[in-house]
Amino acid sequence: MAQRQQAGLTTLRVGLLQNAPEFGAVDANLAGIRELHEGLSGPVDLALTPELSAHGYGFTPHRDADLLSVDDPRLEALVSAGVGVGFARRNPSGLPWNSYLLGDPLTGARHLQDKLHPVSYAPWNEHLSFRAGDGLRTADFGAATVATAICNDMWHPVVPWLAAQGGAEVLFVPVASMAGEDEARIRRTWEVILEHAAVLLQCYVVFVNRCGAEGGSRFWGGSRVLGPDGRVLAALGDEPGSAVAELDLAALRRLRAEVPMRAEARTDLLPAPAGTTPAPKSSESEPLHV
């Protein structure tokens, strides 16, 4: 891996692999990802592809024959090389999952995340094609603790917040965002979402959108890496391509120590789970009602 120590500075090199997958053309899509990975400028620790980068989007259920399992050898070749892949994961008991799989080339560890919030409205209607994931996970990869929030999961602010509270320093955001009728508004909305997560959660954000067209819709690309100050460290346009960003994790950890926003979080204010008894209120003060 490219992880290295330079005068006490811990870094993580991350690659963006922005592809334009064709719906159902799994082998061709994976071959295209390999080509993008081989074209990166220098070694990286991890290289990230968009949501459903192996399958394409399609706006319709995937054929059963195209679904993949986590141990499919076609995935293994990429994942073992440190490439994160989005794919439709076979479910023996029902709808497949919209999944993302990362691998650590040094340790062989795997990080699997399923999309928690399949979009439930037109034109996406993902709830008709995918089963929702059942948990958000963090994982240690080389120098960093990471988490993955797949597309619509980032539109639910609790997801990136929980990832940061769980220790995530780098947030991977693979998406399939189409331009729609108001592309400027969509782009601006994503800018706000990503900057909000980077600055307020004090983390690096790696956003990887697909490009190309499918089902009459165009996907706008714009993959980028943001630092914890919201600054863009690397970016791509609207065509297939790759880019590399170096993440300074030592600086991030200093920031978190000097401005402990995560430690200040009042997790005691979270609603009690259903069926449990809330903690008693303090007699010293009552909440203000405005």
Residue 284 has pLDDT above 70, yes or no: no
pLDDT (tens digit per residue) in 91-102: 999 999 999 999
Q: How does residue 106 score in pLDDT terms, banded at 50, 70 and 90? A: confident
| pLDDT for the residue numbered 38 | 96
Question: 9 falls in which pLDDT band (50, 70, 90)?
Answer: very low
232: left (phi over 0), alpha (psi -120 to 50) or beta: beta
* Low-confidence winner among 205-219, 223-237, 276-290 (lowest mean pLDDT): 276-290
Specify the pLDDT at position 274. 66
pLDDT bracket for residue 73 (50, 70, 90): very high
User: What was the pLDDT predicted at 154?
Assistant: 98
pLDDT of residue 6: 37
CA-based nearest residue to 19, from 116, 113, 118, 85: 85
Which of 5-14, 33-42, 106-115 comes out lowest in average pLDDT?
A: 5-14
Per-residue model confidence (pLDDT) at position 71 = 94
Q: Tokens 């993008």 correspond to what residue? A: 36
Work out the average pLDDT over 246-256. Answer: 96
The rounded distance, in Å, linking the Cα atoms of 168 and 125 is 30
Per-residue pLDDT at 273 exceeds 90: no
> What's the confidence (pLDDT) of residue 7?
35
pLDDT at 277: 55
Does the pLDDT of residue 282 top 80, yes or no? no
What DSSP character marks residue 136? Answer: -
The answer to whether 129 and 62 are in contact (CB under 8 A) is yes
Question: How far apart are the C-alpha atoms of 96 and 189, rounded to whole Å?
Answer: 29
pLDDT tens digits along 156-195: 999 999 999 999 999 999 999 999 889 999 999 999 999 9
Note the Cα 258 to chain centre separation in Å: 27
Q: Which of 117, 134, 140, 121 is nearest to 51 (CA)?
A: 117
Greater confidence (290 vs 124) lies with 124
The mean pLDDT value for 137-166 works out to 94
**What pLDDT, on a 0 to 100 scale, did the predictor assign at position 224?**
98
**pLDDT (0 to 100) of residue 288:** 33
- Average pLDDT of the residues of the chain: 90
Q: pTM, whole model, 2 decimals?
A: 0.90
7-16, 86-95, 190-199, 223-232: segment of lowest average pLDDT: 7-16
Calculate mean pLDDT across residues 217-243: 97
228-245 mean pLDDT: 97
CA distance 41 to 280: 57
89 residue type, one letter: R
